[in-house]
Amino acid sequence: MALHLLCVGGEDHALRIPFLTALQNRGLRVSAAGTGAVSPFTKNGIEYDRYQFDRFGMGFSDRAAMGQLSKFVNRVRPDIIQTFDTKPNLFAPLALRGAVPVVRTINGMGWVFSSTELKALAYRPIYLAMQRLAACWTAATVFQNKADSGFFHRYRLLGKSSSSVIGSSGIDVDAFQTARTRMTAGSELRAQLGLNDAEIVLTVSRLTVQKGIPTLLEAAKLVHEVRPKVRFLLVGPRESEGPFAVDQALIDRHAPYVVATGARSDVPALLGIADVFAFPTEYREGIPRVLLEAGLAGVPIVASRMPGCDDVVVDNWNGHLVPPRDPRALALAILELLEDPARARTMGRRSIDLVRREFDLNVVADRYAALYRQLLSGGAPNDGRATRQNGSEIP
């Protein structure tokens, strides 16, 4: 009988459908639960249950979510549970208490461990305590980057559970390349967005303070003063981000050299017209998918020197890493790439092989499938905290 996996996440869980499909192709039966829409999973033949929690706070909805998960598990009866995102990583072990083996993937440490706000600092010891407690009923913990693995080991947050590092949830290289071949012509896309012959700095992100958007806007002003034809293209949701959202008025103050499009489904096409990809996050990321997409498109990257980003970007090799919350450093790094386009193109091309080698969906799915089978057979995975996807070093 096929191994039955229940994969639990939050509102962006649909982004993991390629990962779940890849596991199905490896002989697993896959179900899912998340807080987002049902239709994407139904279209891909994946059984899906929807539950609710408040991702902006802590309270009664968290206990209700754990109750919902318990009911799902009792009905679906999976052999193993895979969780992603901060709250689901806590909910499943605490709700099930060892009834089913749980594999947690730490795909970033999020706002609580990134922000210096008093509220985040107050929550931090609570989350540390909850992580330690959840570890008591966790079969294995997977980290997407080496920094998070080091953090959990340093603060003894793993209990007796095993751990390993598997970079990202994988990117479907072939599907991405196919999307690029079908994309709108660059000249037509430029005309639609009113970009004409501008130099384009692209950012794909939630438009929140924690993702560094205010820092990016300040940097955009500095870059525009030197290169008036530059346009910063911000792609991603704002209205859905609650108290974390950047004020629209702040974005409007930087028009016309900043263009905010909202969320879009044609990111591969947008990457085709970008000269630089900027990712000024202040978050402890897992492995940002948008960096993998920018890398596959061969676009040079300027990113914050934050966990997750520095697993993809090697400074002065395929892009630049700059301190978070430093608009001047961000502006200077962007200007350096715009002023030397030949070197920028060379740096961008280096990312293509890197992403294929380290983060290809097939490599990632193979490693997860092997982990699940090893756990159910009674084996203990090797601790991969010090290695990359295949143990190799990046130049």
Q: What is the DSSP string of 4-49?
A: EEEEE--TTGGGGHHHHHHHHTTT-EEEEEESS-SHHHHHTT-EEE
* 273 and 137 inside one domain: no
Taking a C-beta distance cutoff of 8 angstroms, is the pair 317, 324 a contact? no
Domain range holding 17? 4-170+360-376
pLDDT at 383 over 80: no
Does the residue 135 lie in any domain? Answer: yes
Q: What is the pLDDT of residue 284?
A: 87
* 120 and 17 inside one domain: yes
pLDDT at 391 over 60: no
* 191 and 328 inside one domain: yes
Mean pLDDT, rounded, of the chain: 90
* 307 and 192 inside one domain: yes
Per-residue pLDDT band at 44 (split at 50, 70, 90): very high
Contacts of 217 (CB under 8 A, 6+ apart): 232, 250, 251, 253, 254, 258
* 64 and 86 inside one domain: yes
Average pLDDT score over residue span 32-59 = 85
For residues 239 and 354, the model is more confident at 354
The CATH number for 278's domain is 3.40.50.2000
* 62 and 206 inside one domain: no
* 108 and 193 inside one domain: no
Q: What is the pLDDT of residue 385?
A: 37
Q: How many domains does the chain have?
A: 2
pLDDT at 392 over 50: no
* 212 and 351 inside one domain: yes
Angstrom distances, CA of residue 112 to CA of 77, 116, 216, 255: 33, 8, 22, 32
d(CA 364, CA 19): 8
Which H or E run contains 164?
strand 162-165
Using H for helix, E for strand and C for coil, what is the string for 301-336? Answer: EEEECCCCHHHCCCECCCEEEECCCCHHHHHHHHHH
Does the residue 69 lie in any domain? Answer: yes
* 125 and 158 inside one domain: yes
